[in-house]
Amino acid sequence: MAVRAERARPWVLLAPSLTVVTLLLVIPTGFVVAYSFWQRTVTGLEVPALNLANWAEVLTDGFYRAILWQSLRYAAITTLACALLGYVPAYFLVHTRFRNKALLILLLLLPFWISYIIRTLSWIHILGTNGVVNYGLRATGMTDQPVRMLYDEFSVIMGFVHAFLPYMILNIYVSLEGIDRSLVDAARSLGCTGWQAFREVTLPLSLPGLAAGSLLVFVLTGGSYITPMILGGPDNAMFAGIIFDTIIVQLDWPLGSALSIVLLAVLGTVVVLYTRFMSLSQVYKSFG
């Protein structure tokens, strides 16, 4: 009896969370797949059916494909920019002898605690017609007309990089921090220059962190729609924004379902590709 109770105990503890994940995520996602085949009647009601029209539209309409490509391109550019901007600060944080290193790391984590929407709209103050940059340009007499920098691809990417850079830095930091320093010393004592030791030892060993950060930034950007709505123009729509529009504004749920499955499949493929080469535990490590 006692053994049986002991064996059941972990499942009792797990029951609530497993129920939540199953009922609020697994089943609803399956439901979306089913819904994408439903028929939308003229009255706007949906009835269960095996209707392929939504899928035909999603898969053949060039509009959706173009937006999907644009979203993936934004995600790729953002990921690359975050990697380029993020590596050096992560390296600095690992190697600095600054007394208040903990404070510097805390500062780096601070953006996680600051509202995403506030951080996004803050770029209007920087790039807008009355923004800091234009103000500076006019004050120094470099221009007399405001330069347009807002509501285009540039401002959208800026918003993304600003929002997701901390994820990248944190992931790189975690993997750099885990490198055994004596390996670098060994390389140096065997005649490597500092740069060679970095290229041959440190950089390869930090790749898991770089990859984990890249995966997170790519998936987060690829599923965004708020940033382009605030900082983008009419040409900067993203796939997630089309989903929002279809579901919330047009109320075409079957079509929106099909679009959601496409986004899930595309970003899911990226995650699966990643797991072929790296372990997901690297991604989760940085949250611990």
Q: Does 279 bind other proteins (CB under 8 A)?
A: no
d(CA 268, CA 276): 13
Q: What is the three-class DSSP state of 131?
A: coil
Nearer to other proteins, 121 or 205 (CB): 121
DSSP-H helix ranges across 22-151: 27-35, 53-60, 62-95, 101-113, 116-127, 132-139
Of positions 75, 156, 243, 255, contacts other proteins by CB under 8 A: 243
Among residues 49, 59, 107, 186, the one that binds other proteins under rule CB under 8 A: 107
Q: In angstroms, what CA-CA distances link 221 with 99, 123, 147, 204, 234?
A: 35, 17, 27, 26, 18
Please say whether the beta carbons of 169 and 86 come within 8 A.
yes
* Size of residue set near other proteins by CB under 8 A: 82
Q: Is 126 in the site for other proteins (CB under 8 A)?
A: yes
Is 63 a binder of other proteins (CB under 8 A)? no
How many other β-carbons are positioned within 10 Å of the β-carbon of residue 221? 28
Interaction residues for other proteins, span 168-227 (CB under 8 A): 169, 194-195, 219, 222-226
Q: Residue from 67, 128, 187, 214 that binds other proteins (CB under 8 A)?
A: 128
Of 80, 89, 146, 154, the one binding other proteins (CB under 8 A) is 89
For other proteins, which is the closer residue by CB, 116 or 183?
116
Question: Token pair for residue 243?
Answer: 């989903």
CB of 182 to other proteins, least distance (A): 20
C-alpha to C-alpha distance for 151 and 124, rounded to whole angstroms: 9
Question: Residue 211 or residue 267: which is nearer to other proteins going by CB?
Answer: 267
Beta-bridge partners for 79? none
